[in-house]
A = this chain, B = another copy of it.
Amino acid sequence: METTSKTEPAVERVHAQLRSWLLDGTLSPGAMLSENDLSSRLAVSRTPVRGALRRLEAEGWLTIYPKRGALVRRLSFEEALAVADARQVLESAYVDAVSDEARAELCTRLDRMIDEEQDEARDGDYVKLVNRTIDFHRAFVEVGENPVLLQFYDHLRERQLVMTLQTPARVTGRWEEFTREHRNLVDLMRTGDRESFVTALRDHIVGTHGPVLGIRC
């Protein structure tokens, strides 16, 4: 039987720490990681660090060059486009492939989320606002109730997050526009008009991440 272990292995802690450093920009793409440095900084030996690096490599965060070191992967322009396109595919996957009740339920939920978006935009709480928009887009995938796709989607968003961290904050005063586009997406979702939804979503994603992709890479 599987019982929960009392003590968490060091490799888990190291992996979690490195992962959070990757997500908050402490370790940015192009950085070269030293096992010695990490092990001394985390007060463990090189063994758990190596295990964590292997995992992060398999997760697509790093590329390990034999005898040379671990490099934090930087997405190419083509890969960044592919990530955005993949997001678009997943978010529009269930527009016309889910029951009417589920779709109606989703739309009321989305409406609530947009209302909260507007409140937070008024309050100027940008951090919450960003999280809210992430949840908004994620909801289009959640409705499919497919944990495999959802996990992959989260992976895509993490990659995008790292890319945006690289660019100097440029999202400032377009919240009104975003909210309007979000409302439009919900309307199209409600009517089940897949064709229009796809094009609107593409414009929205390209309009949001396009500058990031174009300016910086």
What is the interface of chain A, defined by CB distance below 8 A to chain B?
2, 5, 7-9, 11, 50-52, 54-59, 65-67, 78-79, 82-83, 85-86, 89-90, 93, 96-97, 144, 146-149, 152, 156, 194-195, 198
Question: CA separation between A96 and B56, bound complex, in Å?
Answer: 36
A-B contact pairs, 21 of them (CB 8 A): A5-B65, A5-B66, A8-B66, A9-B66, A51-B54, A54-B54, A54-B58, A56-B58, A82-B146, A82-B147, A82-B148, A85-B144, A85-B146, A86-B146, A86-B149, A86-B152, A89-B90, A89-B93, A89-B144, A89-B149, A96-B195
Q: Which of B50, B66, B86, B195 contacts A148, CB < 8 Å?
A: B86
CB distance from A201 to the nearest CB of B (A): 11
> Are B79 and A148 touching (Cβ within 8 A)?
yes
Q: Which residue of B lies closest to A9 (CB)?
A: B66
Question: CA separation between A147 and B83, bound complex, in Å?
Answer: 9
Q: Which residue of B lies closest to A156 (CB)?
A: B148
Question: CA separation between A57 and B198, bound complex, in Å?
Answer: 35
Q: Which residues of chain B come closer than 8 Å to A194, judged between CB atoms?
A: 194
Question: CA separation between A82 and B146, bound complex, in Å?
Answer: 5
Q: Which of B57, B66, B198 contacts A97, CB < 8 Å?
A: B198
